[in-house]
Amino acid sequence: MSDNTALTEHDIVHALCAPDAASLYSAARALADDVFGRQVFLRGVVEFANHCRRNCLYCGLRAANTDVERFRLDDEEILHAVSFAAAHGMGTVVLQSGEEAQGDVRRVGALVREIKRRHNVAVTLSLGDYAEDHYRYWRDCGADRYLLKVETTDDALHARMRPGTTVTERLARVETLQRLGYETGSGVISGLPGMTPRILARDILRLSAMGLEMIAVGPFIPHPGTPLGAERAAVDIEQALRATALLRLLNPGANIPATSALDSACPPQDSGTQYPVSDTRLNNQDSAHSPYGKGGREQGLAAGANVVMPSVTPERVRRNYAIYPGKNTVQCSVTEAVRQLKLRLEHAGYQPSDAIGASLSGRFRAADPM
Ligand code: SAM
Ligand code: SF4
């Protein structure tokens, strides 16, 4: 794996399925160390509403799930959560929600302006599918980044998982965001039912060809209130970690999070695992290079990630942002959860960074002879 940019689909499938991934993880972490050092950027996520018009098969917030207690935070609550993030050393705040049927575009714009007026933070939006005019409006209001995961680039799988939408539309939106000057993030859910290693390999290659500033892989975690809820067999955290490492090798300067889904699937040891982790290879990981034995976030960082995205959603509602089991279920206060996360990072040898943490992808593109 000396020339990472030359990785083929075959190489990637092999790396996803090989009996051992120790050298993959150590190569990805070494590259992350070269580019970002040991600093880890913190992004505080304000999950400000869980109403959604969509019916993504995998997501607990889908419109058809009537068991969800729906909420919308008011402006004051949102700004309070943002102040908390800024005061606790988070250089970026992410405003995230379900996809509202009648999204209040003006209100989001006003919030972005107010956040930028009050704080020296980058603002990321993660609100789903909107018209180009709306994305442009939010950018004009000062939004810096947008996160729109394609989930999978496989046409048939995407259409099945996200009824009423297509990959072509989703990718076109990602391109629109890039054209509008957002630092743009996308990503996939690994291990979706029907996703083969070959599909995931193609997703990895496709995402890596898009010139993204941020790329995320979260393992699929079945939610009992969805049509995929019966898929309780296992969460394949191993595959998500390998995909994270491969994305690092292919995208040296991109911001790559150790996703919250990794931590939900594999909480730090003392909090008890909530879901069975599928891969029997996990039991064999005792090499010095193995990221196992720690929480999912530490494992993601050991596989080359450089970002963590803790929820700073108010305690009153955070449990109701139940995308998948284990999400936002920590018993302690937001303040305590953030304190513990920073301690975990330090304990694992990283430095929580309060920097805005722009992507370094451009540096590598500029150096690219092509
Ligand atoms: N509604 C917006 C959208 O879909 O782009 C943003 C919020 S959505 C809840 C954020 C992300 O949650 C999705 O992009 C998807 O990758 C992830 N997600 C939803 N359900 C999941 C599940 N069961 N397992 C893993 N990730 C999941
Ligand atoms: Fe809605 Fe996003 Fe969940 Fe799909 S993934 S149901 S768009 S919140």
What average pLDDT score do residues 181-201 get? 97
Does the pLDDT of residue 262 top 90, yes or no?
A: yes
What average pLDDT score do residues 33-51 get? 98
Q: How far apart (Å, rounded) are the C-alpha atoms in residues 5 and 206?
A: 13
What average pLDDT score do residues 23-49 get? 98
22: CA distance to ligand 2 center in Å? 34
| pLDDT attached to residue 365 | 73
Does the pLDDT of residue 220 top 70, yes or no?
A: yes
State pLDDT tens for residues 296-342.
999 999 999 999 999 999 999 999 999 998 888 777 899 999 999 99
| pLDDT attached to residue 4 | 65
DSSP code of residue 12: H
Strands 145-147 and 351-353: unpaired
* Ligand closest to the CA atom of residue 195: 1
| Domains, the chain | 4-358 (3.20.20.70)
Q: How far apart (Å, rounded) are the C-alpha atoms in residues 215 and 190?
A: 13
Q: What are the Cα distances from residue 311, in Å, to 29, 167, 181, 270?
A: 25, 28, 26, 20
Report the DSSP beta bridge partners of residue 43.
92
186: CA distance to ligand 1 center in Å? 11
Q: Which amino acid is at 331?
A: Q
Nearest to 47 by CA among 73, 16, 15: 73
Q: What are the Cα distances from residue 65, in Å, to 52, 56, 103, 152, 229?
A: 10, 11, 19, 23, 11
| pLDDT attached to residue 272 | 41
Q: What are the Cα distances from residue 186, in Å, to 48, 107, 301?
A: 20, 24, 18
State pLDDT tens for residues 61-91.
999 999 999 999 999 999 999 999 999 999 9
State pLDDT tens for residues 143-167.
999 999 999 999 999 999 999 999 9
Q: What average pLDDT is seen over the chain?
A: 90
ipTM above 0.85, yes or no: yes
Query: What interhelical angle do 132-140 and 167-179 show, nearest 10?
Result: 30
Nearest CA to ligand 2 atom 6: 62
Tell me the two tokens of residue 54. Answer: 């969509």
62: CA distance to ligand 2 center in Å? 6
Dihedral sign for Cα atoms in the order 116, 122, 127, 129: positive
Q: What is the pTM for the complete model shown?
A: 0.93
Q: How far apart (Å, rounded) are the C-alpha atoms in residues 29 and 365?
A: 20
154: CB partners within 8 A, 6+ apart: 167, 195, 199, 202, 203
Does the pLDDT of residue 182 top 80, yes or no?
A: yes
What average pLDDT score do residues 227-246 get? 89
Atom of ligand 2 at shortest range from CA of 129: 7
Atom of ligand 1 at shortest range from CA of 324: 23
Lining ligand 1 with CB less than 6 A are: 58-59, 61, 96, 98-99, 126, 128, 148-149, 151, 189, 218, 220-221, 223, 261, 323-324
Long-range Cβ contact pairs of 334-338 (< 8 A, separation 24 or more): 334/84, 335/84, 335/88, 337/310, 337/311, 338/88, 338/310, 338/312
